[in-house]
Structure 1
């Protein structure tokens, strides 16, 4: 069916706004994207969003007892599903959005979390939307990582059930629970753009989308470790997510920074579905509780962020055809066969690399293999769309592999287009194990080039390898909402790389500061069909011995863990 003229005109205007933001937010050697210039420490945002007046449910800290190993998840082998209850949902959040450690230096103290974040700023918030479960009441709950608790935002009207006195099954709570149909729970993710804009200015919106992708992968993998399948509900629009999570309730944010809806995930059975429309109707009847805390006393307005966020909002769409993915293949074993919980809790971002550590070619191939989407393998099993992001790699220190520029083609259907979009004189020599679609473009020592492209950061040259993620941004002209989606797919890749680096006995770090068009010129890319949206690097870390490390939750908090 042909698109209505008004809709086509509206989408054309949105695509133009997205394109304008993308160009204006690029870093260039002669001009960085507009930023604050200096950090206003007096207005540094509170790292915790909390809801004053909302009832709290204390979650257990029980991830240490989870036996699932990372290697099993890489093969798509999930354990039997755990029950949906307070204990296991506590593990879900402990391994995805919770604190992983406290760091201190010179009288300052700050928290690290399981999900990666640009500058450790953490703009992503999580909401559990659940039926009545053992230990957790039906409704909408905000996850507060500082305390590892759920704050109940939506509850039965006036704190009780509507309907007759015959029982809860005839009231709001019963209707709410029936809408889930025994199909699991929902997790909604949102972003507070100010948390990033305080430090990064205009480019912050990009980083919020990266962090959302990190969080999607973190939640999906934590769910898989509990035996739960996860999938992004691709039909849902951003307005649906906002209404369901209570993000559209302006009065509840009065004086506080707003949250932008990002993603809605279903955890549990993937056959059938949860009646989201019924939940949306019931959300309008719910009793909503809590008022959002204000994060900063003053703000700097970045109107371009508001414009691109509005232009890239996702409407309701038809369900995407399930991507055709190959069956899982036995991946090369990681260097360290660790329990997934250990890996998730020890993940860190490197601040410097030693410039001498090397990695074996077999380990390098195993890391890249884990980035290939395969049927039933998390986190890719949660993503509803075909892969649109392909890493271009600067290989520096991989034993048995020539230094040079390589491309990992994550979708065989994209190979011809990528070759046609880049320089004609690239080699495109297939290399590595037969199942791995890795291509050598040019053998050359590109450490200086990698450092230049990454805003002159030595971490891109001192590593074993660095990469840029090439995304098919031509999709945005037809569907502007895909702009955010592409950054989130990059974030999924980033979280996978973080975990694979740890499993290889190395460390990774995302690079948000890179010279966009310098990377494109290096590859010979012209026009806007392909753009690099996120960079990453993996190597041997240099630890800062001046920092002290403390457990994420102290003994007093652990003593509050409910006994089950």
Structure 2
């Protein structure tokens, strides 16, 4: 256990950016030699999903009370819609000869290391099996025909990561970003399910080995060296129909005895750089089987959403802002409070998160109506307040701003230049309405269970996904910031040890659109192929 913790701490400290140096990454990047964003398995039966783009009736505000949204039938069209809204394409962008895809689930550098799988047992609309979702084609590749007659245990979604796909650009820090992306994907899945009147139950007890067995990730001959997938999580989709309890042992035995098909195609890019430390930390954070808290289900928002747009429209229009209008009008205070309320653990957006909050926010307020510019804090767990107060600078006043949410003022002042410099000198952190750092309860968390290191980043990514969609609903835009100077952030806040660590930054503001870039339909290429 101590060795695993030491490996994680070594990785974490080694991959910090600082004003003196950046974390180790590739010395050069050949943009014409990027890894393929879309994994394919040759030799699989293909299930073409019904046409994408269906709009549903539920408004974004309705997702505050998902139990009131009528449950859609479990059929191929609706399951395809679930996959599209969670992991599918949202648009294509084109600038000159360059063309690239955007997805509903965001990714650092748009590299998309996350792969999604559908597992069906006893459903009438599709054969029992394990299927890989191909977002480019909006189709399923059947990787496994499960053995035996399994009872209908509903639908399962599995997520995995191709670490090398992210490391191609970001080097050693890529493991962090892959975990962020899993959190984003988990959030995207939750919102997609809610639009259909379904819910997500995270199967937290599963070990990584069991996930690998079910998804076929341990079939080494099916993958090219250095391009393997690492198991991350399994979710059950509760469609509110009569389905049997999930028998994990029977499902794993069925997969082990089943017929497997296909081999992963090459991701094509040349493996010029190797990052063995990523493999080391992946092994150190591998999760064993565990006993976890009971699933809590429905929760409530403390501040109501007034958004009247359809939820499917908000999900599909989500983008990562590239630059902000530094002269924007102040963000209405009601919108700011709503966004913060939406990332609290009591909100419906976290109805599938089964653990106490370990991530807290330190917010640079630049342009919010009725709030003085300065530094603020949002402890996301009541028990963390005293620990945060004791660990931060004595100059912070910790005055509560409003009774609606646990927002505390710390220090008045113009922090725009500070926010920019801390976020690797990026103007997106200063030209926005507000930017923030997500700070984790770190040491105690990973000392007891090293694999919780990944979960801290997942929680950050889940918070980021909520901010993304809430910003769209408010008529503005957000973007995640993975590049920041870790220990300089800690110094600003007063942290003197590893009790707390900053794991992710985020910023929200009025986007400036680049008119030179053309936006094309998400699945227009499929229509062209059909013609």
TM-score range normalised by the length of the shorter chain: over 0.9
| Residues 74 and 239, structure 2, Cα contact 8 Å, conserved in 1 | no
CA positional deviation for 1:387 = 1.0
CA positional deviation for 1:296 = 2.7
What is the rounded CA distance, in whole Å, between the counterparts of 1:471 and 1:61 in structure 2? 41
CA positional deviation for 1:225 = 1.1
**TM-aligned CA distance change 1:345 to 1:104, over 3 Å:** same
**TM-aligned CA distance change 1:241 to 1:274, over 3 Å:** same
What is the rounded CA distance, in whole Å, between the counterparts of 2:35 and 2:526 in structure 1? 27
What is the rounded CA distance, in whole Å, between the counterparts of 2:405 and 2:226 in structure 1? 48
| Residues 396 and 463, structure 1, Cα contact 8 Å, conserved in 2 | yes
Within a 5 Å distance, the mapping from 1:66-105 to structure 2 comes to 66-105=56-95
Please name the residue that 1:110 is paired with.
100
181, 194, 199: which is aligned to 1:224? 194
| Residues 52 and 523, structure 2, Cα contact 8 Å, conserved in 1 | no
142, 149, 155: which is aligned to 1:152? 142
- Answering whether residue 289 of structure 2 is matched by residue 316 of structure 1, we say yes
**Residue correspondences, number:** 526
What is the rounded CA distance, in whole Å, between the counterparts of 2:405 and 2:245 in structure 1? 35
* Structure 1 segments unaligned to the other structure (5+ residues): 1-10, 157-171
Please name the residue that 1:60 is paired with.
50
Please name the residue that 1:289 is paired with.
261
Q: Which one is further off, 489-498 or 127-136? A: 127-136
The alignment partner of 1:95 has SS state of helix
7, 10, 15: which is aligned to 1:25? 15
Please name the residue that 1:305 is paired with.
278
Q: Deviations over 1:435-465 (max 9, x none)?
A: 2000000111100110011011111000000
What is the rounded CA distance, in whole Å, between the counterparts of 2:497 and 2:441 in structure 1? 11
What is the rounded CA distance, in whole Å, between the counterparts of 2:97 and 2:122 in structure 1? 44
| Residues 419 and 429, structure 2, Cα contact 8 Å, conserved in 1 | yes
Please name the residue that 2:412 is paired with.
443
- Answering whether residue 338 of structure 2 is matched by residue 366 of structure 1, we say yes
Please name the residue that 1:40 is paired with.
30
Structure 2 length-normalised TM: 0.95
- Answering whether residue 374 of structure 2 is matched by residue 404 of structure 1, we say yes
| Residues 119 and 156, structure 2, Cα contact 8 Å, conserved in 1 | yes
Q: Which one is further off, 273-282 or 438-447? A: 273-282
**TM-aligned CA distance change 1:192 to 1:555, over 3 Å:** closer
Q: CA RMSD in A?
A: 1.9
| Residues 84 and 184, structure 1, Cα contact 8 Å, conserved in 2 | no
**TM-aligned CA distance change 1:255 to 1:476, over 3 Å:** closer
Please name the residue that 1:174 is paired with.
149
**TM-aligned CA distance change 1:225 to 1:124, over 3 Å:** same
Q: Deviations over 1:190-235 (max 9, x none)?
A: 0001111000000001000000000000011101111111121111
What is the rounded CA distance, in whole Å, between the counterparts of 1:548 and 1:113 in structure 2? 16
| Residues 349 and 510, structure 1, Cα contact 8 Å, conserved in 2 | yes
CA positional deviation for 1:75 = 3.5
Within a 5 Å distance, the mapping from 1:243-254 to structure 2 comes to 243-254=213-224
* Structure 2 segments unaligned to the other structure (5+ residues): none
Please name the residue that 1:142 is paired with.
132
What is the rounded CA distance, in whole Å, between the counterparts of 2:526 and 2:315 in structure 1? 23
CA positional deviation for 1:115 = 0.3
Structure 1 length-normalised TM: 0.90
What is the rounded CA distance, in whole Å, between the counterparts of 2:163 and 2:260 in structure 1? 24
What is the rounded CA distance, in whole Å, between the counterparts of 1:308 and 1:320 in structure 2? 26
Q: Deviations over 1:10-65 (max 9, x none)?
A: x1110100000000000000010001022123531011101101111111235433
What is the rounded CA distance, in whole Å, between the counterparts of 1:504 and 1:495 in structure 2? 14
| Residues 78 and 224, structure 1, Cα contact 8 Å, conserved in 2 | no
CA positional deviation for 1:119 = 0.7
CA positional deviation for 1:346 = 0.3
What is the rounded CA distance, in whole Å, between the counterparts of 1:223 and 1:322 in structure 2? 16
What is the rounded CA distance, in whole Å, between the counterparts of 2:358 and 2:263 in structure 1? 39
CA positional deviation for 1:94 = 1.1
528, 536, 541: which is aligned to 2:498? 528
Q: Deviations over 1:471-510 (max 9, x none)?
A: 1112101110000000000000000000011011001000
| Residues 185 and 268, structure 1, Cα contact 8 Å, conserved in 2 | yes
What is the rounded CA distance, in whole Å, between the counterparts of 1:47 and 1:559 in structure 2? 19
- Answering whether residue 251 of structure 2 is matched by residue 279 of structure 1, we say yes
Please name the residue that 2:423 is paired with.
454
What is the rounded CA distance, in whole Å, between the counterparts of 1:187 and 1:108 in structure 2? 33
- Answering whether residue 327 of structure 2 is matched by residue 356 of structure 1, we say yes
| Residues 466 and 538, structure 1, Cα contact 8 Å, conserved in 2 | yes
307, 311, 323: which is aligned to 1:340? 311
The alignment partner of 1:359 has SS state of coil
- Answering whether residue 516 of structure 2 is matched by residue 543 of structure 1, we say no
CA positional deviation for 1:272 = 7.4
| Residues 64 and 305, structure 2, Cα contact 8 Å, conserved in 1 | no
What is the rounded CA distance, in whole Å, between the counterparts of 2:194 and 2:65 in structure 1? 12
CA positional deviation for 1:113 = 0.4
